[in-house]
Structure 1
Amino acid sequence: MPKINPDILILIFDKLQHDKKSLYSCLLVNREWCRIVVPILWKFTWYNDEKSEKKLFNTILFCLPISSKQLLTDNGVKLQLSLMTGQPLFKYISFCTFPNNSIVYKMIEMILEDDYSFLKQVKRGLLKQEIFKLFVGQCKNIKKLEWDNAQPLSLFPGASTCFFLLRDLYVDVDFVKSDALYGMAQICKNIEKLTLHNCIQEIPGLISLIDVQRNLKSLSIHYKEFKGIGKELSKAMRRKAKTITELYLSPVNCVSPLTLTSFIKLEKGLFYNFPNNEYDKEIEEFQRYLKILEFPDLQYLEIEHLSCFKELSLLIEKSKGNILEINIYTKNENAENAGSLIKTISRKCPKIEKLTTHLDHIGLKYLKELLINCNYLKYLRLDCLHPKPENMGDEILDIIIRYSPFTLKEIHLSDTWMFSVDGFKRFFESWKGRNLIDFEIIYHNYNNYSYITTNHKNIIRNYINEKVINFSNCL
């Protein structure tokens, strides 16, 4: 039998990466197959079942250097590795994806589950330190890191090799110290995606980390308090604004709205707000700034818990017509100008594929125009602004029947609109030959009564059985 080229084998085995049973069989064929399969098995190494995890964790702990094992033994940590002898056949750790804090925590609890001593916390800290040191020392060219613990990963031996090619970094600023962030700044210059969680104070090391990045494209700030971030971090954001194409703020008032005027290359903007913060003065200031903001290259926009349909309309009008997706959510029953937003989208977003927004009586006038002009629309979610029942359900269905583009395959509509049984039948009959992938009703908790009756559900069930609809939550 001719020998198979190793590159071909790698491609084949990589396709089997989630079929561990088959890969285990391949291990036994010969040494060459074993040498190729082992790295693939260990690359996707974190299991969900307890039995497999225990074997995996024991192997990882067996790979600890002698100095680490001695340190742990001297401090009363029993690794229970008596059944494992000799040296590992492979450098297993070098094949692994870098573990997050929760995986290491599970590993530690497996070792210390029967330890009830008052020194358990000290032992836990030592174990965590040595496990992370092991991965930093042996992993190479890590592309993605979740830094959600107090371990100074960038200061451990081997950090420069481990993190040099880092592209995606998540940092929980509650835990990571300034000197560790400064150390990472000395190693990583090409981070493309940076996510900052619990960003509640000015940290010099964090400013340095942002400043040294050559091509930062995505910045996400998740903030647990209403108080805004510091001036230095805002300045650092502005210094990188010309390369950033994706910005995620939660809540939206964690930065001064003036900072947003610097993001002239923004393609994706996600601005989230806390529901009970919608009437804050800073939020009002943000909404005023929406009138003057310009993101000409915008393709994706998501706004949550901000009642600013008029301001969003002005923002969309200043885009170049390349918007592909818009998602707007609010719980403010008194919000106005939802119709003006639909009107603007129908005229300024010819390429839009996904739309989530709210529909009022004024917006209903422009729904036809939206469906006629937006020929690439695939997903449409229309919600109601208030809990009062509206007898406009059939009118919405009829407009969708007559004017929706052939691309539209997913439709979500509010249960606040009352649909007649005949209107439902007429609507789904019109989809024969088009294949509606997903039809869903948006249920609200306004009251215990739903206008979607058993008769409505039976109609949907019948059309699912006829394969006119693939899926619905309304059964």
Structure 2
Amino acid sequence: MVLDFNNYDNKKKNLLEQEIYKLFVSQCNNVKELNWTNSQPLSLFPGASTCFSQLHSLFIDPNSVNSNALYQISKFCRYLNTLIIYNCSQDLPELVSLIDSQRNLKNVKIYSDNDLRRNYKKLSEALARKSNTIKHLHLNLLTESPSLSLDNLTVLSISGWYTDDEIRGFQHYLSVLKFPDLQSLYVTGSIYTYDLATLIRKTNGNISRAFFNGINKEDIVILIHAIANNCRKIEILHMNLNPRRLILLLSNCKNLVEINLSHDYTDDDSSSGDDLLNILADYSPKSLTNITI
């Protein structure tokens, strides 16, 4: 059966959609994954507690979802492993309640609305209250809340382009930040290399994967030293790097398996291809088998 909503006016279309969703909610038990990006109040329909009580993964757009319905689902959806939030533009109490109600939340991804970014203090505090379970965290918003330290975090991903005020707030946050068990770090956007170096120095040396793309390259040497001295276990490294900066990394990071230099020829670089090959031949650990330039 093919349903074509294009020939219905909006009111009839909404009523038909609602009846279909009601039927789905009433007839389905123990749904494991939900992508909730429309205005239908799914958690308010009869049978919702049975349908969604065993959700493991929830993808949600709070700009589209009814706020009462979002608050209601937190009452019976308590076993999420993964929570992905799109278009997060403010500190919504419904999202805070949803996070607080979780008992085993491990993977959180929050994508902000870049045009409407506001303060996320309460959301940050809610995430911090789950520091004993959250292992993977992706943010494309920066928080200056010092409560966001997640001692058990193993994967951190930050992406986005930020104003000077947002970066200054993040710098203040970094002064008290610690991610001791961090193993993977993914950064895309306008974060300063000095701030990334500060973050890396506050780990316990367990980072095995690091990806840096589009970062502000001011003080790149500081970041290189931070990686070389604090990431001795690193296996995969992707970053924009002048080949003449390689020697320290190759000398200290003996577990490297893969390196992607993404070489920037705008950097002041007089080294030739032969020089690069000589550096790789003389300093590469035996484990290094995958090199991209």
TM bracket, shorter-chain basis: 0.7 to 0.9
Return 150-159 or 194-203, whichever deviates more.
Answer: 194-203
1: CA distance, partners of 2:90 / 2:214: 29
- Residue in 1 that maps onto 2:292: 412
Pick one of 185, 196, 206 that aligns with 1:322: 206
Aligned residue type for 2:169: E
Pick the aligned partner of 2:154 from 259, 264, 267: 267
Provide the rounded CA distance (Å) in 2 between the counterparts of 1:272 and 1:143: 28
Structure 2 residue corresponding to 1:258, chosen from 130, 146, 170: 146
Q: Distance in 2 between matches of 1:323 and 1:153?
A: 41
State the Cα distance separating 1:192 from its structure 2 match. Answer: 1.9
Structure 1 residue aligned with 2:127: 237
**Which position in structure 1 is the counterpart of 2:111?**
222
1:305 aligns with 189
Residue 376 of structure 1: which of 241, 249, 255 is its match?
Answer: 255
Partners of 2:89 and 2:116 within 8 A in 1: no
CA distance in 2 between partners of 1:297 and 1:331 (Å): 23
Partner AA of 1:408 in structure 2: L
Which residue identity does 1:368 align to in structure 2?
I
Distance in 2 (alpha carbons) for counterparts of 1:324 and 1:386: 27
Counterpart residue identity of residue 291, structure 2:
I
Q: How far did residue 235 of structure 1 move?
A: 3.1
What is the deviation of 1:216?
A: 1.7
Counterpart selection for 1:172 from 25, 43, 61: 61
Secondary structure in 2 aligned to 1:289? Answer: helix
Partners of 2:87 and 2:270 in 1: CA distance: 45
Distance 1:340 1:230, change over 3 A: closer
Q: In the alignment, which residue of structure 2 is the partner of 1:213?
A: 102
| Structure whose alpha-carbon radius of gyration is higher | 1
Whether the aligned pair in 2 keeps the contact of 1:245 and 1:268 (CA below 8 Å) is yes
Counterpart-to-counterpart distance in 2, 1:351 and 1:234: 30
**TM-score of the superposed pair, with normalisation by structure 2:** 0.88
Instruction: Indicate the structure with greater helix content.
Output: 1
Aligned to 1:349: 231
Residue type of the partner of 2:137?
L
Q: Secondary structure at 1:189's aligned position in 2?
A: coil
Given residue 19 of structure 2, which amino acid in structure 1 is its aligned partner? E
Q: Displacement, 1:146?
A: 0.9
The Cα shift of 1:226 comes to: 5.2
Change in 2 beyond 3 A, CA 1:202/1:340: closer
Question: Does structure 1 conserve the Cα–Cα contact (< 8 Å) formed by 2:125 and 2:145?
Answer: no
Pair 1:219–1:297, CA change in 2 (3 A): same
Equivalent residue runs for 1:72-83 within 5 Å: none
Is 1:399 equivalent to 2:279 in the alignment? yes
> How much has 1:384 moved relative to structure 2?
4.0
TM-score (norm 1): 0.56
1:195 deviates by: 1.4
Asked if the contact 1:226/1:251 (under 8 Å) is kept, the reply is no
**Could you say what secondary structure the match of 1:347 adopts?**
helix
Name the SS for the 2:88 alignment partner: coil
Change (3 A) 1:182 1:112: closer
How many Å separate the matches in 2 of 1:145 and 1:347? 43
Residues 386 and 403 from structure 1, CA distance in 2 versus in 1: closer, same or farther, beyond 3 angstroms? closer
Post-superposition CA distance 1:340-376 (Å, at most 9, x none): 3223322322221211122247xx24x2342244333
CA contact (8 A) 1:331 1:385 kept: no
Match of 1:126 among 8, 15, 25: 15
Q: Count how many residue pairs are aligned between Structure 1 and Structure 2.
A: 291
1:4-50 CA distances to partner (integer Å, 9 max, x unpaired)?
A: xxxxxxxxxxxxxxxxxxxxxxxxxxxxxxxxxxxxxxxxxxxxxxx
1:282 aligns with 2:166: yes
Q: Is the 8 A contact 1:339 1:359 kept in 2?
A: no
Contact kept? 1:182, 1:205, Cα under 8 Å:
yes
1:193 Cα deviation from its structure 2 partner: 1.6
Taking only aligned residues, the RMSD between alpha carbons, in angstroms, comes to 2.5
Q: CA deviation at 1:203?
A: 3.3
Provide the C-alpha distance between the structure 1 equivalents of 2:230 and 2:69, rounded to a whole number of angstroms.
46
Residues 135-180 of structure 1: CA deviation (Å, up to 9, x unaligned): 2222222222111111111122222222111111111000112211
Offset of residue 218 of structure 1:
2.1
> Does structure 1 residue 181 correspond to structure 2 residue 70?
yes
CA distance in 1, matches of 2:204, 2:117: 34
